[in-house]
A and B are shown apart, each in its own frame.
Chain A
Amino acid sequence: MTARVQSGPLSGKVILITGGTSGLGRWTTMVTASQGATVVFTGRNADGAAETSTRLVDRGLHASYLPHDVTKPDEWTRVVDSVVEEHGRLDGLVNNSGVSRLKPMDQMSLDDLEFLLSVNVDGMFYGIQQAFRVMTNGGSVVNISALNALRGSPNSTGYGLAKGGTTHLARAAAVEGRARKIRVNAVHPGVLFEHGDRPSPGAIALFGEEGAKKFVQYNIDTTPMGRLGHPRDIGTTVAFLLSDAAKHVTGTAIHVDGGRMAGEYLHHGIKSQK
């Protein structure tokens, strides 16, 4: 470890973050590292991991990377053992890896369902189980869920089944974590854009240049705060939940969504993404 020592709310804590190779997980890695944590991030994409590392270095930070498929219990054991071996302890786990597949019910196959459940439910359960195993002095686990876990949304009979589980698994684990002083919470992001109001390459590929602009505007219009979220906004909330400042917070479902859950915005004209 050659991490530059940062002092901050997470100083002295060892944090494991899944899916740190892109988007939300990458930003959560950067935020927690900047707050003084020793961070290990995992994922399946080596190029994405290199990009995360580069961005950390640009900010004078460091985190180490371990390849990891969250749907494999054995890999969880290997990853968690490796963290404890290297750093002596585990204080926080961010179950961030997640997948989405939105389809109307006549197109949702059992394979689609299994794909959603294996990552969003099973992977998070394995992570919680391994965290409980090694967090002998207490700790904090954060499951990244989705607004689909808090209300119905079209094309989500499978995704809602998975993410509803993600959120409630956190609550069930919070009940059982009491005896071990482990807190477990769930975080629900709103619509996130990493590039401000500029459409992402993914949105352009999906909707075309004009369609992507409309998509961005639609999401701005349907968010009460009138702006899109940034992955950093979620990272700071996760960092709070990992920190001792949140020592009395457990079993909660927090939304970081610019107010979308407060209004009736979510359902207005969500179009089939074709």
Chain B
Amino acid sequence: MIDLTGKVAFIANADHPAAAACTGRLQAAGAKVCGAGSASADLAVDLDPYSPDSWDSAFDRCKTELGGLDILVIPTGATASEGILSLAPEDFVAAHRSLAVTAFLAQNRGILAMRASGIEGAVIHILPAAARAAAGDAAAACTASAGILFSSKSAALECAKAKDGIVVNAILAGPIEGEEPLNYGVPVDPVSPDDIASAVLFFAAEGAAYMTGMDLPVDNGLVAQ
């Protein structure tokens, strides 16, 4: 049983299909949860995902009002788009940035907020398995999620080099129950939000403190195909 009593978690995107399960499981393990726009969180914050200042304020509120920022969960969704030929250039850019900029700012500003308070925290990305397994009609989601994955590995190395005690890992989620699956071209059973939350708890716990820059598929074998 993972005990997170006294820890504070921040969930960067309440709209993700696994966000509610993560909130519930983190709370059940004893953590307090701050959520961006989340009703079930102990503290709900509003933020503009494209504004560095807005992320800084949200993390400050989390630290001030809940007493810490030990676990940062950054869920990135997977949405199919038009095929490459019919996707308007501006729609590609907008779809790409809505994923990439949000995760980039949450990650970098979150790590800086942890560092500023000397917190040896855990950053956990939840990415679609499309970060490794290319899907059709999802150019923006594939491009953004793979980029975020390698940004997370770079962040992990920067933190390791700085010896700040912060670890950065990623979960590669298969299609999650209740969401429209991407077209991976192979049959794959959906994973439950609770399966994703279990992996989040694993990376949040002390036992994973020596793991960093890792990506863990939770996808019923999709990435392995």
Chain A positions near chain B (C-beta within 8 angstroms) = 73, 104-106, 108-110, 113, 117, 121-122, 125-126, 128-129, 132-133, 148-165, 167-169, 171-176, 251, 267
Contact = CB atoms under 8 A, between A and B. Distances in A.
Nearest to B115: A106
Given A152-B153, A169-B139, A158 B213 contact: no
**Among B130, B134, B137, B149, which residue has the most Cβ atoms of chain A within 10 A?**
B134
11 contacts: A106-B112, A117-B100, A129-B89, A157-B154, A160-B153, A160-B154, A161-B147, A161-B150, A168-B142, A169-B139, A172-B143
B2 interface: no
Interface stretch (B3-11, B28-36, B155-163, B200-208): B155-163
B84 A110 contact: no
Contacts of A154: 154, 157-158, 161
Given A165-B144, A172-B138, 14 more contacts: A106-B108, A113-B101, A121-B96, A149-B150, A150-B150, A153-B154, A157-B108, A159-B154, A162-B147, A164-B146, A164-B147, A168-B142, A173-B139, A176-B139
A163 B85 CA distance: 22
A121 B152 CA distance: 18
Nearest to B112: A106
B107 A157 contact: yes
B142 A172 contact: yes
Contact of A164 (B107, B135, B137, B150): B150
A111 to B, nearest CB: 11
A185 to B, nearest CB: 12
Nearest to B145: A168
Main secondary structure of the interface of B (DSSP, over half): helix
Interface string B160-192: 010000000000000000000000010000000
Interface string B49-62: 01010000000000
B: contact size bracket: 35 or more
A178 to B, nearest CB: 8
Contacts of B150: 148-152, 156, 160-161, 163-164
**Among A169, A171, A174, A267, which residue has the most Cβ atoms of chain B within 10 A?**
A169
B39 interface: no
Interface in B103-134: 104-105, 107-108, 111-112, 130-131, 134
Contacts of B79: none
A61 B89 CA distance: 35
Nearest to A174: B134
Given A117-B97, A132-B84, A161-B104, A104 B158 contact: yes
Given A105-B158, A108-B108, A168 B143 contact: yes
Nearest to A163: B150
Given A152-B213, A164-B147, A122 B153 contact: no
Contact of B85 (A133, A157, A160, A162): A133
**Among A105, A132, A155, which residue has the most Cβ atoms of chain B within 10 A?**
A105
Contacts of A129: 84-85, 87, 89
Nearest to B153: A152
B87 A158 contact: no
Contact of A105 (B100, B112, B185): B112
Contacts of A126: 89
Nearest to B157: A152
A169 to B, nearest CB: 4
A157 B131 CA distance: 16
A125 B92 CA distance: 8
**Among B87, B101, B107, B136, which residue has the most Cβ atoms of chain A within 10 A?**
B136
A113 B104 contact: yes
A251 B149 CA distance: 18
Contact of A172 (B108, B112, B139, B158): B139
